[in-house]
Chain A
Amino acid sequence: MGRNLLAERPTYVVGIGLHRYQHKTDTTYVQLGLTAVRAALADAGITWPDVETAYTGTALLGMGASRIMLSRLGATGIPMAQVENASASGSTAVAQACLDVASGRTDVALALGVDKPRGGLPMAPSEAGISNLEGGTVVPFTHFALLASEYMAAHGVTAEQVAGVALKNHRNGARNPFAQRQQERSMEEIMADPISGSMSRLQCCPVGEGASAVIIASDEGIDRLGIDRSRAVRVLASATRSEGLYPPGVGIDAALTVETAQAAFDQAGVGPLDMDVLEVHDAFSIEELLYTEALGFCEPGQAAFLVESGHFDLGGRCAVSPSGGLLAMGHPIGPTGTGQVAEVTRQLRGEAGDRQQPGAHLGLTHMVGVGAVCVVHVLESPRG
């Protein structure tokens, strides 16, 4: 085992900024990204020359996205790179920025997520020359419809109970000015327009455009730049795992989450039941149930009933997807993981306004990327 760098050198989120997630527009990715970075710099109370290294999480923009954008804040010559890890690209940008700071290489690092939808982009796994019998019939919404079928059969859960995740997350998203979907929905609306199995349109995330940025700093950076410590959220853990081989019948996505969560909780020295707020990869409603269980918040099969009882509502035992999650806030790919960290930071500062989880002290972010990879971060409020 290597060293637990985040325990050795305290590392904090000190600035957050977003451009609203939305349907594709004529706005350039440069404008989206700069909006988020300028907001994050203002939030931290620092200027661009204070930033020593930058990572841009993007899966769709193509080669060389960072400098043409970030140099418009001033061409300071700092190291910068794009980070691609499918849906977890933004999360991996955060992981890299935390590693830079925790290792002592830099005191202030930027993780930016920015993307615009683009059709026809090659998916590397489909270029691997490995054929299958599905012939394109099992796209992601059907993969998760099959997992929903399995879950409902195994645990005696109804389609409406699974859809309860989308009901809750649209309610949360209606309170988030950065969300792509800002409309509370009835169960009747959620269940309308079937896509695949029990997955309806509003149980599938929208993929639009947007940007989100987080600034990571060390104690030295905070002191030198006079950053407000009362708003600095400590990063207790940053864990990444890739898919292993699991026994037949074991769900890959959940098994990978179990392993990554364990690695993160080991680093942080806390457990799932200590968490007050979670942002999980709810690209499809069923996923939030599988992942809250895999992260250790309840036993397999219980999450659907806990959603129904309000356990995971804002004001409940642990708020899950207070931003609206991927289902309502949206899943613009690159920004999604950085946006989760921004939301949990806002919650742990107590600055989330009418979607504030009362007394939130510890929070967790979780993304899965196709391949599959999983990235988990654990954050702690400035109250320590």
Chain B
Amino acid sequence: MPDVRARYPELIRLGSTADDPPVIIGQACGACGRRSFPPDPYGCEACGAAVDRLTSTELAAVGVIHAVATVHRHHHPRPETPFTVATIVLDDGVTLKGVLTGDTSAVGVGSRVRGVTVPWDTDDDGTEVVDLRFETVGGEG
């Protein structure tokens, strides 16, 4: 198996096997308990605690779609248009935006999704770079 890394390794921990789901790296404040994403190198927006009180915490990449939009115009060649983005409320309580993959024709507000990785690029040394996408949960139960 070739070496694999996440496109944003500071935000994603890949599973140890291909079937192991990726995990989102969030942050927890040791002073007020707030959980947030993305990780912040400066301090806590809720209570003002300095960064030394903030610790890394793992968030399961599963949640519910809160809003969805198919993008027709994009100023970069990738992802190719049209692609679909969603606002996702993770079961762990954090809201983030992500790109969907797979069949999005039936996706709507309230759909359950989970994180998966897709090929993004290959580094010069042959390392495969993968990026996080979300796909609807279902079909396989």
Residues of A close to B109: CB separation below 8 A: 149-150, 153
Q: B72 to A132, Cβ gap below 8 A?
A: no
Residues of A close to B71: CB separation below 8 A: 137, 142, 145, 195-197
Residues of B close to A130: CB separation below 8 A: 38-41
Binding site secondary structure of chain A: loop
- By beta carbon, the residue of chain B nearest A199 is B69
Whether B10 is near chain A, meaning CB under 8 Å from some CB there, is yes
What 1/0 mask marks residues of chain B from 11 to 45 whose CB sits below 8 Å from any chain A CB?
11000000000001000000000000011110001
CA distance A150 to B88 in the complex (A): 11
Known A149-B109, A245-B45, A248-B89; contact A195-B11, beta-carbon cutoff 8 A: no
Q: A133 to B8, Cβ gap below 8 A?
A: yes
Known A133-B97, A133-B132; contact A146-B67, beta-carbon cutoff 8 A: yes
Q: A133 to B10, Cβ gap below 8 A?
A: no
Q: A248 to B67, Cβ gap below 8 A?
A: no
CA distance A136 to B75 in the complex (A): 9
Q: A137 to B99, Cβ gap below 8 A?
A: yes
What's the minimum C-beta distance from B91 to chain A, rounded to whole angstroms? Answer: 12
Whether A7 is near chain B, meaning CB under 8 Å from some CB there, is no
What 1/0 mask marks residues of chain B from 81 to 98 whose CB sits below 8 Å from any chain A CB?
001011101000111111
B residues adjacent to A (C-beta < 8 A): 7-8, 10-12, 24, 38-41, 45-46, 66-76, 79, 83, 85-87, 89, 93-99, 108-110, 131-132
Given contacts A133-B12, A142-B69, A146-B85, 4 further A-B contacts (CB under 8 A): A131-B8, A135-B99, A137-B71, A150-B66
Q: Which 8 A-B pairs have the closest CB atoms?
A: A197-B69, A145-B69, A150-B67, A153-B109, A149-B67, A146-B67, A196-B71, A194-B72
